[in-house]
Structure 1
Amino acid sequence: MDNKIKLGFAPTRRNIFSADAAIKFANLTRNKMNELNIDFVDITDINSDGLLYDDDGMKKIAHKFKNANIDGLFLANENFGTEYECARLAKQFDVPVLLWGPKDEAPAPDGSRLRDTQCGLFAIGKVLRRFQVPFTYLVNVGLEDPEFEKGIKDFIRVCNVVKTFKNTRILQVGPRPFDFWSTMINEGELLERFNISLSPIPLPELTQEIHRLQADNDPKISTTINKLKEIAEIEVSNKDLEMIAVLKVALTNKMNEYGCNSGAIQCWTALQDEIGILPYATESLLQDEGTPVTCETDIHGVISELLVEAATMGMEKAIFADVNCRHPEEKNGELLQHLGVFPFSTAKNKPVLPKSHFVFDYPGSVAFEAKTGNYTLCRFDGDNGNYSLLLGNAQTCVGPYEQGTYLWLKFANLNRFETKLVYGPYIHHIAAVRADVVPILYEACKYLKISPDFYDPIEEEVQAYLRGDITSIIK
């Protein structure tokens, strides 16, 4: 498990129940998290119990967690718990909150009970609601039950989605192309509501960086050329291959300069006129490095990519595709394609850098069919002040050859998917990963303050997965 997500661990108890039992189970929980390689900030230095149960301890815990810059809060109810201290602590953080307690033992022979953990979970949940603190509930299971490991690892993925979303800064290279009114966005609203900021630069600033790199004969250019020769069949000229590499280095430099984790570029037609290539092979390289750059200045599109990729903890790279046309034979089949943009690592076979593409007679596109499998599709979008996240799954199917990067997907009901895109607020661009992360994105929505929106009626199955009743929503 990736340790870049740090949890604040706050086990809690209530005085009327056994403190010794609560301490025992808090330590067992610590041991389990260490076994699972979970990165967490502990509170054993706060008091002799290492537990949350009073105001003095809560204040010290909050101070420690703030200094540690935690990404998520784990409230472990080790006996009945002190619900108001849990809520007071959680209220001070704008991070996902996980609520769980270990399953109670059977009553003792004399009929007494040590912990009443489950009963306390009901109380904590109610008070968190009173404090208007969104939280994730991991059902009342034992530490060795598989639901615990699955639940805490899924929660870390949720934290990663939320952290990525709230810390996104996007390099915007040029305005949107005039013809693409569909990619219009509200920059101020993204900042005010979600802390997502843009770093706009004009195309000449990028081309100036390109010329500087060429004049300096920057060694990163030859490194990038060698990388391209290693991962792809090269059909373009040496001059065009060099420009693909120079553009990649220039975009990387500009993202670093402006502190951006992603970008969006006015990919046509001014750019081709200036540098003579399409930017898509460059974007494919950047996608593989975890710094996605979308075309047509699609800001909401690159946010979609960041979210769906974060849900996999970066283990799967996101593709960015146009939803183009129906399958000629499969009733529920649909083409997802682009002139490039798919990460090279998502190719079924060795990618090709062709001389041109039928849409634009320029070099710089990429050609391959993406890997087969089950995909999660995701589109963050909004208009008129309302934002939502389109979610669902689809399975690859066999389809005709297509120029560029592409895959054919079979949906449970293509009409439902198509209708969602037409009615909006979505457009024809979508992000996808070869993994089942719909439940992770769904759970993250409550912390992002956006509405989850399914194109298939799967919400009940998603909730069953999050409860631990099923292990996958893909049938």
Structure 2
Amino acid sequence: MEKIRLGFVPLHRYPFDENWALELKNRFINVAEGKFGNFVELVYPTEKHTKMGLVTDDDDAEATIKLFKERGVEGIVMTTLTFGDELAGARVAEEFKGYPILIFATKEPPTLPGGFRRSDSFCGTLSLTSALYRRKIPFLFGGIVFPEDSEFAKEFNSFIRITSIYRSFIGARIGLIGPRPERFETVTFTEAKMAEKFKQRVVHVTLLEVVEEARRLPDEDPEVVRIAKEIESSVDVSKVPKDIILKMAKLETVLRKIVKEKKLVGLGFRCWTEIQRYYGLSPCHVLGRLTQSGIMSACEVDIYGVLTMVIQYTASLGTSPPFFIDWTIRHPSKLNAFLAWHCGNAPPGLFCAPGKLLYHSIMYRDVGVEKSYGTLEGRLKPDIVTISRLVEYDGEFKLFVTRGKALEEEAEFRGSWVWVEVPDLDKVYRTLVEEGFVHHASMVYGDYVDPIVKAAKILGIKTVVV
């Protein structure tokens, strides 16, 4: 994943101690670049841009704004190194209103002989934050810290993930492959509201176009050959006819081409039953492979489902592909556990053992076994997970978020699945029911509740956390 560019605003106010401000500025830079340099490019003013490389007045603010725009920063971190000039900070924030903004107050240095204070960040931060509040500029507060504190590392790490979510979510282009299933009103979406609120675009592609392009590809196409070999070497294909592997490889080749040409971050796919009837396979494993590679792919043309996956994947900084799930059944004996399941679309890297490529356990009844191959099946690995779901009603977007634990427990199920235990399943389920959340969700390995909830605040999305 490309490094995230964060603009660092070192705020100072005369006549407080500029030597202390400079020392603290350098300490923040050293810690941020030393601990997080693999993920972050830190952009900040030097003596070439502002007085002493600090931001103390309107001229410094304008120079910093110019620098940040030239470097294309994606989030702003402000620190009141001393009292901090509230108007200089507010001016920078005005220019980047709507971007993720994180504010730190700083701890006080020892008082000088004679009782002279050097910083007063505790006081000045209130001036800065009230200035942003007055201007209705959303921001996050990271606490009162020294850069070496564990609290700073925790908040800065979370902010990196928040900014990662923001930069992928705003302006996201989602592919829509075919219409939604007729009886699935649950996956409706409002394209105009996506554009209005988040500058997003739904890119429509017909299923016929995809199928015809896949059919035209020769078996010897280099990309088809590469993908087919990759499938055969990564999962158990012993139960699947050879021609199915080629069909899957051709479908994946076409979808990857569409994603690249149309600059998509993900796609919602019409996965039954036309693709089985007219192309002869189930696309589940293809969707899982796309998700594994960073192209978020949801079943049943669930566009808000794709956006939920984008939020989770970018919260993990591209390290953990999500699993697009159904809330399926309750565990027969563990009252707080449910079956996180779907037909066979889990990313292959999430299985506790290599998945088995099989025929669709539901669609075969309608189209026959020979036309329904393409699901990757088996149990997923145990670990901590975050479960989320984005919905929208009357133009208001809201996001369900909870955490749970995928269990180490065998069972006999078809599809991709794992038992997941949450602290209070009754409360989770009642919340889903009463708040209008649908039967689809996205599950990602890792605990990303904090950055997801804070990113939602910046994006203007209401959160429902259980």
Same fold (TM over 0.5): yes
Structure 1 match to 2:329:
325
Q: Which deviations, in whole Å up to 9, do the C-alpha atoms of 1:199-258 show, x marking residues without a partner?
A: 00111111122123237x321111111111111000210101111111111111111111
1:386 aligns with 2:388: no
Does residue 51 in structure 1 map to residue 54 in structure 2?
Answer: yes
- 1:382 touches 1:426 (CA, 8 Å); kept in 2? no
CA distance in 2 between counterparts of 1:231 and 1:123 reads: 57
Q: Classify the secondary structure of the residue corresponding to 2:25.
A: helix
What aligned pairs does 1:189-208 form with structure 2 within 5 A after superposition?
189-208=193-212
Q: Does 1:405 align with 2:407?
A: no
Which one is further off, 217-226 or 25-34? 25-34
How many angstroms does 1:109 deviate by?
Answer: 3.2
Give the direction of change, closer, same or farther, for the CA distance of 1:220–1:9 in structure 2 (3 Å limit). same
CA shift at 1:434, angstroms?
A: 1.2
Residue number in structure 2 paired with 1:453: 464
Shift of 1:3: 5.9
Mapped partners of 2:192, 2:212: distance in 1 = 28
Judge which range, 37-46 or 245-254, deviates more: 37-46
- List aligned pairs for 1:185-264, cutoff 5 A: 185-214=189-218, 217-234=220-237, 235-264=239-268
Question: 2:386 maps to which residue?
Answer: 376
For residues 254-307 of structure 1, what are the alpha-carbon distances to aligned partners after superposition, in whole Å with 9 as ceiling and x for unaligned?
111111010001111111112100000101110110002111100010111110
In structure 1, distance between residues paired with 2:49 and 2:24: 17
Q: In 2 relative to 1, CA 213–289 (structure 1 residues): closer, same or farther, beyond 3 Å? A: same
For each residue in 1:118-143, what CA deviation from the matched residue of structure 2 results, as whole angstroms up to 9, or x when unmatched?
Answer: 21112211111111111111111112
Counterpart amino acid of residue 10 in structure 1 = V
Partner amino acid, structure 2, of 1:391: V
Give the deviation of 1:34 after TM superposition: 2.3
Per-residue deviation at 1:355?
3.6
Distance 2:136 2:88 in 1: 14
19, 40, 43: which is aligned to 2:42? 40
Structure 1 unaligned segments of length 5 or more: list them.
457-475
Q: Which residue of 451, 454, 457 corresponds with 1:440?
A: 451
Of 290-299 and 419-428, the range deviating more from structure 2: 419-428
Task: Answer whether contact 1:348 1:370 (CA < 8 A) is retained.
Answer: yes
| Count, aligned residues | 453
Report the 3-state secondary structure (helix = DSSP H, G, I; strand = E; otherwise coil) of the residue aligned with 2:10.
strand
Compute the displacement of 1:359 (Å). 4.2
Letter in 1 for 2:43: V
**Alpha-carbon separation, structure 2, partners of 1:98 and 1:171:** 32
* 376-385 or 398-407, which deviates more: 398-407
Alignment of structure 1 residues 14-413 onto 2, 5 Å = 14-36=13-35, 37=37, 38-44=40-46, 45-93=48-96, 94-214=98-218, 217-234=220-237, 235-360=239-364, 361=369, 362-397=372-407, 398=409, 400-413=411-424
Q: Give the SS at the match of 2:118.
A: coil
Looking at structure 2, the residues matched to 318 and 136 of structure 1 have their Cα atoms a distance apart, in angstroms, of 26
| Residue type of the alignment partner of 1:333 | A
TM-score under structure 2 normalisation? Answer: 0.94
Provide Cα deviations, 1:305-348, integer angstroms capped at 9, x if missing partner.
11011111111111111111111221122111111221100001
Deviations 1:31-55 (A, max 9, x none): 2222121411121021241011111
- Per the normalisation by structure 1, the TM-score is 0.93
Identity of aligned residues (%): 26
Partner of 1:430: 441
SS at match of 2:256: helix
How far 1:358 sits from its partner (Å)?
4.0
Q: Quote the Cα distance in structure 2 between the aligned partners of 1:321 and 1:212.
A: 32
**Structure 2 Cα separation of the partners of residues 274 and 349 of structure 1:** 32
CA contact (8 A) 2:358 2:377 kept: yes
Q: Does the aligned pair in 2 maintain the 1:380–1:389 contact within 8 Å?
A: yes
- 1:69-103 CA distance string (max 9 Å, x none): 11111112111000111011111113111111331
Structure 2's unaligned 5+ residue stretches are none
1:471 maps to which residue?
none
Cα deviation for residue 396 of structure 1 reads: 2.2
AA at the equivalent of 1:427:
V
CA contact (8 A) 2:360 2:373 kept: yes
The equivalent residue for 1:466 is: none
Which letter maps to 1:387? Answer: F
**Do the aligned residues in 2 keep the contact of 1:283 with 1:340 (CA within 8 Å)?**
no
Shift of 1:425: 2.7
* 8 A contact 2:343–2:360 mirrored in 1: no
Amino acid at match of 1:381: V
Q: Does the residue aligned with 2:218 lie in a helix, a strand or coil?
A: helix
> C-alpha separation between the residues in 1 aligned to 2:440 and 2:454?
23
Q: Are 1:357 and 1:363, in contact at CA under 8 Å, matched by a contact in 2? A: no
How far residue 399 of structure 1 moved from its aligned partner, in angstroms, is 5.4
CA contact (8 A) 2:341 2:418 kept: yes
- Rounded to whole Å, the distance in 2 between the matches of 1:436 and 1:34 is 24
